[in-house]
A = this chain, B = another copy of it.
Amino acid sequence: MKKSLGAKTILHPAPALVVGSYDGEGRANVMTAAWGGIVSSKPACVGVSLRPSRHSYDAILGRKAFTVNIAPTKYMREADYFGLVSGKDADKFEVAGLTAVRAEQVDAPAVEEFPVTLECRLRETLEIGVHVQLIGEIVDVKVDEECLGEDGRISMAAVDPCIFSPVEGRYFSLGPEIGKAFSIGKELR
């Protein structure tokens, strides 16, 4: 029996995306966002929705660039902190003891210790209610070599991302692999 919960932002799984930018004074900043995902395959684009009141919002519009860093469970505490405090009030990299490194392809900082960084050039913005979706073209993805399998592909298990549960407000880790995509469904065809 299904129950109606009303108009809620429930979608499982949600990511914990750590978005990096340089603000107007050139300071490296990061914030954590859960409203985002890939929005196109070609060109490769990612969308991240921010409220315009966020310190990162003006920063990203100013330099037309941002990074998306995938928070591994090892840095769950730091990623959560990045969503609690504004870059107006604190040097979040310093407080968290993490390292800002300039991305190679875009004018934004990456989190050195995080295993995956998407380097994004701001392509367009779309106002949707209280949020503005920032659509970034992914110009490069940088991955820790330890997260690459023998075939050179990235391994999600090795990345070990924080998985966020909206409404519930909890983080989970990744469970075991359960099947091959574009394959297991063929049994039904």
The interface size bin for chain A is 35 or more
Q: A1-B144, A174-B163, A179-B170 are in contact. Are A11 and B118 (CB under 8 A)?
A: yes
Q: A42-B129, A167-B154, A173-B175 are in contact. Are A37 and B12 (CB under 8 A)?
A: no
- Oligomeric state, in copies: 2
Contact B80 A10 (CB under 8 A): no
Q: A5-B142, A189-B81 are in contact. Are A41 and B35 (CB under 8 A)?
A: yes
Complex contacts, A173 vs chain B, CB 8 Å? 175-176, 178
Contact A182 B84 (CB under 8 A): yes
Q: Which residue from B8, B141, B181 sits with its C-beta under 8 Å from A7?
A: B141
Q: How far is the CA of A15 from the CA of B159 in the complex (A)?
A: 16
Q: Would you call A183 an interface residue if the criterion is a C-beta within 8 Å of the partner chain's C-beta atoms?
A: yes
Q: A39-B131, A43-B129, A184-B77 are in contact. Are A70 and B177 (CB under 8 A)?
A: no
Q: Which residue from B38, B155, B168 sits with its C-beta under 8 Å from A155?
A: B168
Q: Which residue from B70, B104, B182 sits with its C-beta under 8 Å from A80?
A: B182
Identify the stretch in A20-28, A45-53, A55-63 within 8 Å (CB) of chain B at 4 or more residues.
A45-53
